[in-house]
Amino acid sequence: MVVVIKKDSPPTAIKDAMKAIEEDRATRKGFDAKKYAGKIKFPVDGLTYQKQVRDEWE
* Cut 0.75: pTM above it: no
Angle (nearest 5°) at CA 45 between 41 and 46: 90
What was the pLDDT predicted at 31? 80
Distance CA 27, CA 31 (A): 13
Q: Which residues of 7-30 are buried (b: 16+ CB within 10 A; e: fewer)?
A: eeeeeeeeeeeeeeeeeeeeeeee
As averages over each run of 10 residues, the pLDDT of the chain (58 residues) reads 84 90 81 80 88 86
14 membership: H or E segment, kind and range: helix 11-27
**Torsions phi, psi of 19, nearest 5?**
-65, -40
